Amino acid sequence: MAEAASLDAGDTPPVREPDEKEEHLVRKIPIRNLYHLLAYAFDAKFLNWEEVKSIEDDDHAGYFELLSHVLVAGVKHVVKRGLDRGYKPVTEEIRGVRGKLELSASLSRLSLPQGKAVCTHDEFTSDILANRILKATLWRIARHEAPSKKLKTEVQQLFHRMPEVSLVPVQPSLVGRVRIHRNNQWYAFLMGLCGLILEGLSVKEETGSTRKRQFQDVVEKQLHALFEQFVRNFYREHLAAHGWKVHQGGKVLHWDLVPEQKGIGSGQLVPRMVMDISMEHPDRRIIIDTKFYSGGGLTSSTSGSEGYVSSNMYQLNAYLTQLARDARNRKAKGEKPLHPCDEAAEGMLLYATVDDRDYEHHYRMEPHRFSVATVNLNQDWQAIEARLLALIEGQP
């Protein structure tokens, strides 16, 4: 218990405020598709839907049960394979000597005359932080008022199949302290789900619809980032063999600005330009800005006409303009651009949608190509994959 209790909650990173229509969008995403989306977002490409296909599309009532169902299915898989284990220091009184002898403790307990000693040694155990987070999350789910009888039963069964794992209080921030490696890669997905659920359940205790709304608010704040991670990891997984390099994310463009005033810190006031997704091919460079809210990037004016969200267009245009300016500046200095196609980089606004109002529009703003497109998440997963690949491969 001391392991988790000694860790602070820590600061949580700033998150984007949700659009007021995002809840409607998420509710119409089938759970099968949300499962795949989360699997890509958490880079758990080894997941197999067939192993958890018992989750039915209509077998959830809102975010809480939906995420809980997916977590339960994942934990079942882990328990079946065997919980991850690791070495943990244990101090106890044993016969003989093992590990480090705690002489002071042994003398105070009069252990030595009895042929015993207090020793600290490493124990290979499943009682590690990752499993403690899993068990604590299952416990929180079981205590919540929302779970159906079936879900609560499944959670309780899993809870009792982890007897070696201590039940300790955990904070959402502890999820980021779990080390993921080749032998426990399943846990990246599960820790991501635990983080969402624990964050949602850590809001001020309320009852009824208010508590439900608070959980939804917390989860919705993560949706844009999850969609961005999904698209990035999807393209990295499927296009690497075709010569594409997809950057990890958060690639920063620097403004070509030189402060005219000195000594007043004006340079530090300029906002950073952080691109969602930057993709490179030997003969192409694409900047993708992802958006996750209802309406598919279209807004209605007072006259009833529709148009793109102007701020999104300006944002992507700023990325392309600055990328081209940087390439020209480097050439003027006799240097090579970061990529041969930076001066003519392509840009794409990609919106998640859940209706049949899919569109794909292409424009040219010399020397750049500019696309605005949607991907309908309320369709067969194979169609979603085909759509995403066509948006890249179908362009010259």
Q: Which residue has the higher pLDDT, 299 or 44?
A: 299
Torsion of CA 101, 103, 105, 107, to 10 degrees: 130
% of residues, the chain, pLDDT over 70: 79
Q: Rounded to whole angstroms, how far apart are CA atoms 7 and 177?
A: 10
Q: Rounded to whole angstroms, how far apart are CA atoms 202 and 206?
A: 11
What is the pLDDT at residue 389? Answer: 95
Q: What share of the chain is helix, strand, coil (3-state, %, to 5)?
A: 45, 20, 35
Q: Which of 344, 350, 370 is nearest to 232 (CA)?
A: 350
Kindly tell me if the per-residue pLDDT of 396 is higher than 90: no
Mean pLDDT of the chain: 81
Is residue 234 classed as helix, strand or coil in its secondary structure? helix
Domain boundaries, the chain: 2-85+126-222, 86-125, 243-257+270-393
Span 88-127, pLDDT tens digits = 888 889 888 888 889 899 998 888 899 999 999 888 889 9
Q: Which of 278, 196, 238 is nearest to 15 (CA)?
A: 196
In this structure, are residues 269 and 259 in contact, taking their beta carbons and an 8 Å threshold?
no
- Give the mean model confidence (pLDDT) for residues 44-50: 59
What is the pLDDT at residue 2? Answer: 36
What is the pLDDT at residue 212? Answer: 58
Lowest pLDDT segment from 145-149, 245-249, 360-364, 380-384: 145-149
* Residue 376, token pair as written in the block: 């309908």
Span 315-339, pLDDT tens digits = 999 999 999 999 999 999 999 998 9
Q: Which residues contact 76 (CB under 8 A, 6 or more apart)?
A: 52, 158
Q: Rounded to whole angstroms, how far apart are CA atoms 25 and 8?
A: 35
Q: Rounded to whole angstroms, how far apart are CA atoms 174 and 181?
A: 17
Q: In CATH terms, is domain 243-257+270-393 a member of 3.40.1350?
A: yes
* Residue 131, token pair as written in the block: 């499993």
Question: Which residues are registered as beta bridge partners of 348?
Answer: 288, 371
In this structure, are residues 141 and 68 in contact, taking their beta carbons and an 8 Å threshold?
yes
Q: Which of 116, 114, 86 is nearest to 102 (CA)?
A: 116
Span 299-316, pLDDT tens digits = 776 666 788 888 999 999
Q: Rounded to whole angstroms, how far apart are CA atoms 385 and 382?
A: 5
Q: Which residue has the higher pLDDT, 300 or 242?
A: 242
Q: Rounded to whole angstroms, how far apart are CA atoms 35 and 30?
A: 9
Q: Which of 192, 189, 293, 284 is nearest to 246 (CA)?
A: 284
Is residue 55 classed as helix, strand or coil in its secondary structure? coil
What is the pLDDT at residue 158? Answer: 92
Span 171-208, pLDDT tens digits = 888 998 898 887 888 888 899 889 989 988 876 555 55
Kindly tell me if the per-residue pLDDT of 343 is higher than 60: yes
Give the residue ranges of DSSP H helices in the chain. 2-5, 22-27, 31-41, 63-81, 103-108, 129-143, 149-160, 186-201, 208-239, 310-332, 381-393
Q: Rounded to whole angstroms, how far apart are CA atoms 376 and 380?
A: 9
Q: Which of 364, 360, 384, 395 is nearest to 374 (CA)?
A: 360
